[in-house]
Amino acid sequence: MDDQIRMRADQALIRYGGKFSDFVAASAKGSFIYDARGRRVLDFTSGQMSAILGHSHPAIVETVRRSIATLDHLFSGMLSEPVVDLAEALKAITPPGLDRVLLLSTGAESNEAALKMARLATGGYEVVGFAQSWHGMTGGAAAATYAAGRRGYGPLSVGGLAIMAPNLYRPSFGAPSSADWRAELDYGFDLVDRQSTGALAAFIAEPILSSGGILDLPPGYLSELKRHCEKRGMMLIVDEAQTGLGRTGEMFAFARDGIVPDFLTLSKTLGAGLPLAAVLTSAEIEQRCHERGFLFYTTHVSDPLPAAVGLAVLEVIVRDKLEKRATEAGQRLRKALETLRDEFDCIGDVRGRGLLLGVEIVKDKASRKPDTALGARITDHAMELGLSMNIVNLPGMGGVFRIAPPLTVTDDEIDLGVTILRDAVRGALKG
């Protein structure tokens, strides 16, 4: 059956990034995905880093069932109570200064809207991002994405600038034991100033660059970044598609640095696997943009069904204290991964926060040379043994596993995942 589905896919689908997995999913529940024969795979990436409550969570199932039967989609200019409820709930869990909410469908769409608002509010058009960033595949978001996907499509939006994100495992400034991220950030903005035409609008940043190889911005980095932005009249957009809503152990990852961004964008985790995104900004910025004619009229803006799902997600996270669970489970998982790092010379680094962790594969700890081939073999062995993980490869970096199980993951499931990973590494090293 699976072979037939893959053959049909070859004749019917456009390939949109690498090859399709040999595993063909038939159902999913909690932390596991099942094929038609009942073989189960432990999902250590929460689907596409999104199913923060696991698959088919009862609260989400019930919300979708109820909403699809009552209120699912409306004219984009029409209001509904679920939309207002979710906007108020998001305001309630964010600090003052994030007082207005726009509900959309995808992370790229929310970043697109934030970028348009920042340009409209400042009058500038230049956008700075990290050279390892991923913010989406639509026009403006793609222009601020540097991790992959830039070649072969012709010119992107003008005004795109990039600086290096800090990689404390392979620092650009100083040795690993004494990396100077402040000097690197200052140098990056010196280059920005030299390249800018004087029309800087925004800096867009993930607190943990996920597709960039789980690069966790050091404590204090976002506050320094905010200072650089304010000095230049730029707005700071924080993209918490993957870090938001408890995954790092805090409701929002930017909170660690005690800052409030000009824009907060949410997506993946907000819908718990369904397409839902949000932009939050201040009442002042919203008013300025409104007066200047802000337009972002899309087919699914303010749709009631996904809004109801988002509200259910927030209720479950708050009710079950899942941000606290992310801290506890993350500590257990990190400790186990660090044990593997000590056991295998090919595991160079373990990094991240809460339940968003990265494991970098290298030829050996001494050289820190990338070994993407070994990372690919580990991926294949893990899937054969029943563990789904996602690996990203960037120039100058070893293959980095992004490990992000649902916040509902059990201790036994964490232990099972680490056991499978250990066996996968051993199998891959044998050839």
Residue-wise pLDDT for 134-157, tens only, equals 999 999 999 999 988 889 999 898
Catalytic residue among 109, 126, 134, 247: 134
- Told to judge if 402 belongs to the known catalytic residues of this protein, a careful annotator would answer yes
Same domain for 361 and 414?
yes
Catalytic residue among 206, 250, 286, 360: 206
The answer as to whether 66 is a domain residue is no
The answer as to whether 296 is a domain residue is yes
The beta strand positions in 20-75, using DSSP E, are 27-29, 32-34, 40-43
Give me the percent of the chain exceeding a pLDDT of 90. 89
The answer as to whether 64 is a domain residue is no
- Which residues is 28 bridged to in the sheet? 33
Q: What is the pLDDT of residues 181-235, one digit of tens each?
A: 999 999 999 999 999 999 999 999 999 999 999 999 999 999 999 999 999 999 9
CA distance 327 to 407: 9
Same domain for 279 and 134?
yes
Cβ contact 146:295 at 8 Å: no
Same domain for 26 and 115?
no
Q: Which amino acid is at 165?
A: A
The answer as to whether 62 is a domain residue is no
- Told to judge if 181 belongs to the known catalytic residues of this protein, a careful annotator would answer no
Mean pLDDT of the region 399-416: 97
Same domain for 241 and 313?
yes
Q: Which residue has the tokens 């009229």?
A: 297
Same domain for 196 and 78?
yes
Q: What is the pLDDT of residues 281-304, one digit of tens each?
A: 999 999 999 999 999 999 999 999
- Told to judge if 239 belongs to the known catalytic residues of this protein, a careful annotator would answer yes
> Band of the pLDDT at 173, cuts 50, 70, 90?
confident
Q: What is the pLDDT of residues 29-56, one digit of tens each?
A: 999 999 999 999 999 999 999 999 999 9
The answer as to whether 63 is a domain residue is no
CA distance 96 to 233: 20
> Band of the pLDDT at 85, cuts 50, 70, 90?
very high
Q: What integer pLDDT is reported at residue 178 of this predicted model?
A: 85
- Told to judge if 99 belongs to the known catalytic residues of this protein, a careful annotator would answer no
Domain containing 201 equals 71-319
Q: Which of 270, 295, 319 is a domain's end point?
A: 319
Mean pLDDT of the region 57-75: 97
- Told to judge if 268 belongs to the known catalytic residues of this protein, a careful annotator would answer yes
Three-point CA angle 332, 333, 337, nearest 5°: 120
Q: Which two tokens stand for residue 235?
A: 């707005």
- Told to judge if 242 belongs to the known catalytic residues of this protein, a careful annotator would answer yes
CA distance 361 to 349: 8
- pLDDT of residue 397 exceeding 80: no
Catalytic residue among 232, 257, 402, 413: 402
Quickly count: other Cβ atoms within 10 Å of residue 137's Cβ.
14
Phi-psi sector, 97: left (phi>0), alpha (psi -120 to 50), beta: left
The domain total for the chain is: 2
Catalytic residue among 239, 250, 262, 303: 239
- pLDDT of residue 115 exceeding 90: yes
Q: What is the pLDDT of residues 243-293, one digit of tens each?
A: 999 999 999 999 999 999 999 999 999 999 999 999 999 999 999 999 999
> Band of the pLDDT at 172, cuts 50, 70, 90?
confident
Same domain for 227 and 115?
yes
Same domain for 395 and 269?
no
- pLDDT of residue 241 exceeding 80: yes
Catalytic residue among 109, 242, 303, 351: 242
At 224, which CATH number? 3.40.640.10
Same domain for 221 and 336?
no
76 contacts: CB under 8 Å, gap ≥ 6 = 297, 298, 299, 300, 301, 302
The beta strand positions in 107-246, using DSSP E, are 126-130, 160-163, 200-205, 208-209, 215-216, 235-239
Torsion over CA: 171, 173, 176, 181 (sign): negative
Q: What integer pLDDT is reported at residue 390 of this predicted model?
A: 87
Q: Which amino acid is at 51?
A: A
